Amino acid sequence: MSTPRTITVALTGASGMPYGLRLVECLLQSGCRVWLLYSQVAQIVARQEMDWHLPGRAAEVEAELSARFGAAPGQLRVFGREEWFAPPASGSNPPDAMVVCPCTMATLASIAAGLSQSLIERAADVVIKEQRKLVLVPRETPYSAIHLENMLKLARLGVCILPPNPGFYHHPRTVEDLVDFVVARVLDQLGVAHTLMARWGEEEEGR
């Protein structure tokens, strides 16, 4: 039996919490193992955008989301912001890939500068140095020259910069459709199969 892929997902304080939670749900449904990290400001955003009280204790978040998404025992692990002995903190045990969704400009800047002041930043630094896939979903508008320069620096290192810009050619009818469009693009970058939306040309070929 093959070992399931391990994906680190980090939730930061940018607007876009529905993207992050939907991504976690889809990864768990696909059979991936998920290591979840979240910032203190992400707790505020979760309450504001989803009326969700994101607990401060990692163990409570792990229990709540495991029950909500039907995760298998041990499939979802949640780590605190300064839990430096967590697996994502070391290059000796890197995940297969990492996604920061949503990603604040402060987090993006810290990653670009190689700072590791929190577990999220350290985990991203590990993924870059171990040459694993890193996807950042930056939610800000407009972008300043500082933001763009930081993104360019990371893109040149092979980091995928994936702004949550939904398309409309699939005729979305709900907010959930728009969320799924972005999450589908993230899953594509991770090589995780999904059925969130039809691929370009599939509907036409089936007519």
Q: Does 1 map to a domain?
A: no
Q: Does 157 map to a domain?
A: yes
Task: Judge whether 123 is annotated as a binding position.
Answer: no
Query: Other C-beta atoms within 10 Å of 131: how many?
Result: 10
- Alpha carbon distance, N-terminus to C-terminus of the chain: 39
Which pLDDT does position 1 carry in this prediction? Answer: 45
Domain with 87 in it = 11-197
Domain with residue 29: its CATH number is 3.40.50.1950
Per-residue pLDDT reduced to its tens digit, 119-169: 999 999 999 999 999 999 999 999 999 999 999 999 999 999 999 999 999
Per-residue pLDDT reduced to its tens digit, 54-87: 999 999 999 999 999 999 999 999 999 999 999 9
Task: Judge whether 106 is annotated as a binding position.
Answer: yes
Which residues are paired to 76 by β-bridges? 34
Task: Judge whether 15 is annotated as a binding position.
Answer: yes
Q: Is the pTM value of this prediction over 0.85?
A: yes
Task: Judge whether 47 is annotated as a binding position.
Answer: no
Q: Does 68 map to a domain?
A: yes
- Domain count for the chain, please give it: 1
Task: Judge whether 104 is annotated as a binding position.
Answer: yes
Q: Does 31 map to a domain?
A: yes
Cα distance between residue 69 and residue 67, in whole Å:
6
Which pLDDT does position 53 carry in this prediction? Answer: 95
Task: Judge whether 143 is annotated as a binding position.
Answer: no
Q: Does 94 map to a domain?
A: yes
Task: Judge whether 14 is annotated as a binding position.
Answer: yes
Residue position matching structure tokens 């402060």: 106
Please give the structure tokens belonging to residue 12: 């930061």
Q: Does 202 map to a domain?
A: no
Please compute Rg for the chain using Cα positions. Answer: 17
Query: Could you tell me if 12 and 107 are in contact, meaning their C-beta atoms sit under 8 angstroms apart?
Result: yes
Q: Does 117 map to a domain?
A: yes
Which pLDDT does position 198 carry in this prediction? Answer: 84
Give the H/E segment covering residue 161: strand 160-161
Cα distance between residue 17 and residue 38, in whole Å:
11
Which residues are paired to 48 by β-bridges? none
Q: How far is CA 141 from the centre of its chain?
A: 19
Cα distance between residue 204 and residue 198, in whole Å:
10
